[in-house]
């Protein structure tokens, strides 16, 4: 019944796993996976799942998720097909499934400053809004003017002030069933060459300092006030530490990478060890930035 319904409203699969859908390449099978083609289909699917009390999880590019090995019996909804964008005056309207690096490059090419801070963040616009993702002193809250949200069965627009943005947080953390459908981002003019040079330079720096060639979910811990998580991890001697195939990256100790058949259990055991040791030695509670799901 559920399978037939989902098949009518998007591309459907019953053989997907989180291993395929996350950048960390970990996680077990998924009972139902669907990719709606547009926001109307998304609305129909979500309203049905809520009515039938079937658990669901919306994902973008799966670049901030660590997922357990047990089968997820609900529905994973991928927003990758909501991937259109258009420039409207001094704003860009982008659907939730647009990849941030793609949009950043397209805007820079047209001489629009907006997302250059996010050109190396491998997530979708919806995921970046959810996380108030940021880098190089820029973050989504600087550029978001309005967000279209599927909330309580209806599509509504919320302006930036209503989104309660803070460090790697937004109102969506308190309302996990609200879905970011699209966003309007503010644009300012800046020479194309300057933007492209800036982005290329930052990408070079990322490649030098981060293990971009290994599966990861980016920074594992939020930076505490006044220091960096990687410094604390180094100070307890955990750079290069591993449990089975999961390693604290020798290149950047706040990145925990999967060298093969790593599992969420191994990943989390490293996290807990680091948290305990840092707390014991420095009295600082390291908080995960990566989100656990189904584990
Ligand atoms: C190599 C690497 C580098 C990274 N660098 C950075 C960085 O510099 N700065 C930074 O902030 N992050 C960074 N990240 C982390 C990650 O890319 C960001 O957190 C990003 O915002 C996640 O987007 P996503 O589409 O992949 O979200 P997902 O991982 O798919 O989802 C994350 C959470 O957002 C929710 N979500 C996703 N889409 C929606 C939606 N449309 N509506 C409501 N909820 C939604 C999901 O349910 C989930 O709870 C990095 C990750 C990697 C792998």
Of 226, 149, 153, nearest to 181 (Cα)?
A: 149
pLDDT at 186: 98
Q: Which atom of ligand 1 lies closest to the CA of 133?
A: 11
**C-alpha of residue 67 to centroid of ligand 1, in Å:** 14
**C-alpha of residue 281 to centroid of ligand 1, in Å:** 31
**Mean pLDDT along residues 212-222:** 98
The full DSSP string for 115-150 is: SGGGTT--SBHHHHHHHT-EETTEEHHHHEEEEEEE
Confidence of residue 55 (pLDDT cuts 50, 70, 90): very high
pLDDT at 91: 98
| Per-residue pLDDT tens over the stretch 192-201 | 999 999 999 9
Beta strands in 26-141 (DSSP E): 30-35, 56-59, 65-67, 72-78, 85-88, 91-95, 112-113, 134-135, 138-139
Helix, strand, coil % over all residues of the chain, rounded to 5: 35, 30, 40
pLDDT at 111: 98
CB distance 42 to ligand 1 below 6 Å: no
Clarify whether 84 is annotated catalytic. Answer: no
Confidence of residue 81 (pLDDT cuts 50, 70, 90): very high
pLDDT at 15: 97
Full set of structural domains in the chain with CATH: 2-78 (3.30.43.10), 85-208 (3.30.465.10), 214-293 (3.90.78.10)
**C-alpha of residue 288 to centroid of ligand 1, in Å:** 13
- Helix, strand, or coil (residue 210): coil
Clarify whether 168 is annotated catalytic. Answer: yes
Q: Which atom of ligand 1 lies closest to the CA of 96?
A: 41
pLDDT at 155: 97
Q: Which of the listed residues 27, 46, 130 should we mutate to test ligand 1's pocket, taking the one with most ligand atoms within 8 A of CB?
A: 130
Q: Which of 168, 170, 182, 249 is catalytic?
A: 168
Clarify whether 259 is annotated catalytic. Answer: no
**C-alpha of residue 127 to centroid of ligand 1, in Å:** 4
Residue nearest to atom 34 of ligand 1 (CA): 127
Confidence of residue 52 (pLDDT cuts 50, 70, 90): very high
Q: Which atom of ligand 1 lies closest to the CA of 22?
A: 29
pLDDT at 176: 93
Q: Which of the listed residues 119, 213, 218, 255 should we mutate to test ligand 1's pocket, taking the one with most ligand atoms within 8 A of CB?
A: 218
Mean pLDDT (the chain, rounded): 97
| Per-residue pLDDT tens over the stretch 230-265 | 999 999 999 999 999 999 999 999 999 999 999 999
pLDDT at 280: 98
pLDDT at 98: 98
The whole model's pTM is what?
Answer: 0.97
Residue nearest to atom 8 of ligand 1 (CA): 135
């Amino acid at each position: 019944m559920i399978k037939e319904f989902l098949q009518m409203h998007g591309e459907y699969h019953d053989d997907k796993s989180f291993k395929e859908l996350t950048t960390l390449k970990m996680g077990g099978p998924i009972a139902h996976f669907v990719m709606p083609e547009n926001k109307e289909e998304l609305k129909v699917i979500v309203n049905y799942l809520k009515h039938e009390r079937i658990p669901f999880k919306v994902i973008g590019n799966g670049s901030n998720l660590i997922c357990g090995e047990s089968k997820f019996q609900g529905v994973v909804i991928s927003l990758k097909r909501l991937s259109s964008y258009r420039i409207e005056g001094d704003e860009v309207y982008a659907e939730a499934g647009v990849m941030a690096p793609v949009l950043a490059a397209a805007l820079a090419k047209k001489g629009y400053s907006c997302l250059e801070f996010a050109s190396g963040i491998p997530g979708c616009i919806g995921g970046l809004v959810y996380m108030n993702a940021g880098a190089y002193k820029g973050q989504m809250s600087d550029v978001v003017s309005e967000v279209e949200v599927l909330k309580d069965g209806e599509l509504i627009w919320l302006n930036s002030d209503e989104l309660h943005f803070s460090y790697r947080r937004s109102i969506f953390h308190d309302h996990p069933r609200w879905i970011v459908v699209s966003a309007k981002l503010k644009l300012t003019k800046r020479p194309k060459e300057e933007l492209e040079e800036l982005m290329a330079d930052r990408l070079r720096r990322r490649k030098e300092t981060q293990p971009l060639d290994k599966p990861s979910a980016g920074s594992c811990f939020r930076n505490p006030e006044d220091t960096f998580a990687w410094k604390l991890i180094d100070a307890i001697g955990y750079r290069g530490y591993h449990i089975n195939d999961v390693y604290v990256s020798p290149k950047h100790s706040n990145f925990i990478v999967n060298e093969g058949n790593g599992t969420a259990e191994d990943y989390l055991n490293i996290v807990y060890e680091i948290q305990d040791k840092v707390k014991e030695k420095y009295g600082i509670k390291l908080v995960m930035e990566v989100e656990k799901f189904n584990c």
